[in-house]
Structure 1
């Protein structure tokens, strides 16, 4: 179907939908959204920034080339993949989560302290491995089953400790399966993490699980709900902070940074910097070398988030200037360092400097290959570079696209 060149993305979606005789509710449902959300997209009231949602809309409209929706006709066709990203560990993780045993077990339950130690060690692996999804994903099925079995078999304080460990395990499962898990598994995992922490009645665990739930809500385009969840969690833990362990303040700070990113992506500049400032104050109240074990909140992560907030607000010059002053090696998380360079690459793209964007994307891929391969924003940058890199950089851009897996999927 030929569409006028001057139509916006929302207008193109509306014309395509009506030409196929689809109701707004039907198309929205294919994207796991409501009709009001789609109405705002079509009217231009809401900007559609999510690449994954663009792909869902294209698939729902039976459009094989994404440029038909975006109107971006320069470069090669942007093919719409028929399925989601896949990872070889997903079948085993799916089985452990969705085929949860309802019966007891004859074997002795894992000691809660041992279970927590295994969970903590796997979180460290997530942050330090170049192939974190593969290595962590291989460990998760046994962790999930052992955690569930311990919660069923124990009682009293031992059960509470097992519940906290199980909540941590499900939070990590959410991280390790982000963007590759079917939507139903993502929601189940997030809900179980929150339910386990609430059953344990441990404020820091509840706050950490809320941070995880907020990630799911934000990445599935429910920013208002994401902000509500993390704000309520911050209110819950705030009264305990004066005499609480350091990791309680760490998760409180992580909630502030989460809210900063959420509001930045909505273009709420004042709120974004206000939340970032709260996180900055928390970091200043903690030892300079402090790092939260799972969220990696600390001085370095606050500085990294400053770059991300500026990028999401499309303040590319500020974002790149901030990144110039950061020593990325002070961040112990390889995964977080890789994502920092992806944010810097996004900033360079906003300025139209694809040579610089390609250079830092190559750095990101070298630091954390699987972080780049399985993160939509990174894949979007790699795809843009593959299509639009300067002639002298096309070979390198093609090599990056092939390594990331986008040259045949965009």
Structure 2
């Protein structure tokens, strides 16, 4: 990223960035440092400040107690037949139950962490023990979806290497399955992993998402709802990355096309993996406006989406965080903190692992307004950022 690009994302100039780098300007205030950390996806503020006594991890959450068990299941390399694998129909039912449990629980990582080790082992066994190409492809599709479920657990935890192993194995299993939906879901998650790795990876995010859309496009005129939904989710992902780049027209263009796909779905359709649906498009509009750093437009989109009910608790919490970012961009810190409190109520494990939410809370713990500082500090304690 050039100095001019970084400065533009910060609302500054390239010469300002150079002056900070060279020491001609004194160290910026915490608010500015946090904004730089957000733009560069720096996980630890000491990487920016050089002060090793102040270690604040922003874009990863605490290691979940069940992370080690999930990691062990992913890292295992069984080569023999082992115990008999459950039937594919049984695995399908367990995966469906896991997705439902994730959407319903405020502590969704705890739920997934308990289910994933056995699911991973059984899905791997189903592939090894499959008889014939048809059964093997069906088992590979289920294995790919199991890795997709696993990626939701692993994301934003302190093991980037594990995240990439899970994402890549999901892509390989999806390709082996030759199942259009499995391929689309694996690409959707791989695109997110690339994009969340920072601006240097935006091109990779675009490539995996747009190539997958090109693969799915011939199927779309007569596609079943689950394939149309993943194509819509991929279309929005392309818009999300464009918004991160600051490409306003491209971002909103992809959002418009995704909305058109959502309108082709039944009114009550809600994709269990991507959350793609008619209900989610308002939340997606908030995200685009926020990523484009349009405070007023972000708040307007948040108001328009307010009446929409998102059935998933973790996805609803994520939307509340995006709304909070909108209010914060628009200079409404009290509204931002109140909205983050709603996010915590919906799904504490979502906000605890979200760097944007933690940045807002941490910044407001130094507010000059005593009441706001107190509210921010109370929320920081709940998030484990400050001691009680």
TM class by smaller structure: 0.7 to 0.9
Matched, 1:213 2:190: yes
* Among 241, 250, 272, the residue aligned to 1:262: 241
Partner of 1:149: 125
Q: Does the CA contact (< 8 Å) of 2:45 and 2:55 recur in 1?
A: no
The one-character-per-residue Cα deviations of 1:52-86 (angstroms, maximum 9, x if unpaired) are 83235734985326xxxxxxxxxxxx644599731
Root mean square deviation, CA, Å: 2.5
Q: Does the CA contact (< 8 Å) of 2:229 and 2:271 recur in 1?
A: yes
Q: Does the CA contact (< 8 Å) of 1:52 and 1:376 recur in 2?
A: no
Partner of 2:62: 85
Distance across 2 between alignment mates of 1:287 and 1:64: 53
| Bigger shift: residues 112-121 or 50-59 | 50-59
For structure 2, which runs of at least 5 residues remain unmatched after alignment? 1-12, 25-34
Question: How big is the shift at 1:264?
Answer: 0.4
Matched, 1:63 2:51: yes
Question: How big is the shift at 1:49?
Answer: 5.4
Partner of 1:402: 381
Distance across 2 between alignment mates of 1:11 and 1:187: 36
Partner of 2:365: 386
Distance across 1 between alignment mates of 2:158 and 2:96: 22
SS of the aligned residue for 1:241 comes to helix
| Bigger shift: residues 132-141 or 379-388 | 379-388
| Bigger shift: residues 130-139 or 82-91 | 82-91
Matched, 1:136 2:98: no
* Among 289, 302, 306, the residue aligned to 1:310: 289
SS of the aligned residue for 1:258 comes to helix
Matched, 1:279 2:272: no
What is the count of residue pairs matched by the alignment?
361
Q: When the two structures are superposed, what TM-score results if normalisation uses the length of structure 2?
A: 0.87
Partner of 1:122: 98
Q: Does the CA contact (< 8 Å) of 2:138 and 2:177 recur in 1?
A: yes
Alpha carbons of structure 1 residues 377 and 328: separation in structure 2 relative to 1, 3 Å: farther
Question: How big is the shift at 1:374?
Answer: 0.8
Question: How big is the shift at 1:103?
Answer: 2.3
Q: Does the CA contact (< 8 Å) of 1:389 and 1:397 recur in 2?
A: no
SS of the aligned residue for 2:189 comes to helix
The one-character-per-residue Cα deviations of 1:347-393 (angstroms, maximum 9, x if unpaired) are 11112211111111111110111000011112212212222262122
Q: Does the CA contact (< 8 Å) of 1:310 and 1:318 recur in 2?
A: yes
* Among 188, 193, 198, the residue aligned to 2:165: 188
Question: How big is the shift at 1:189?
Answer: 0.2
Alpha carbons of structure 1 residues 88 and 264: separation in structure 2 relative to 1, 3 Å: same
For structure 1, which runs of at least 5 residues remain unmatched after alignment? 1-5, 17-46, 66-77
Matched, 1:336 2:315: yes
Q: Does the CA contact (< 8 Å) of 2:209 and 2:234 recur in 1?
A: yes
1:45-60 to 2 correspondence within 5 Å?
50=38, 53-56=41-44, 58-59=46-47
Matched, 1:362 2:341: yes
Q: Does the CA contact (< 8 Å) of 1:115 and 1:162 recur in 2?
A: no
Question: How big is the shift at 1:394?
Answer: 2.4
Q: When the two structures are superposed, what TM-score results if normalisation uses the length of structure 1?
A: 0.82
Alpha carbons of structure 1 residues 108 and 191: separation in structure 2 relative to 1, 3 Å: same
* Among 144, 147, 151, the residue aligned to 1:174: 151
Partner of 2:3: none
Distance across 1 between alignment mates of 2:107 and 2:368: 27
Q: Does the CA contact (< 8 Å) of 1:170 and 1:190 recur in 2?
A: yes
Alpha carbons of structure 1 residues 165 and 11: separation in structure 2 relative to 1, 3 Å: farther
Distance across 2 between alignment mates of 1:328 and 1:199: 42
Alpha carbons of structure 1 residues 392 and 48: separation in structure 2 relative to 1, 3 Å: closer
Distance across 1 between alignment mates of 2:267 and 2:66: 37
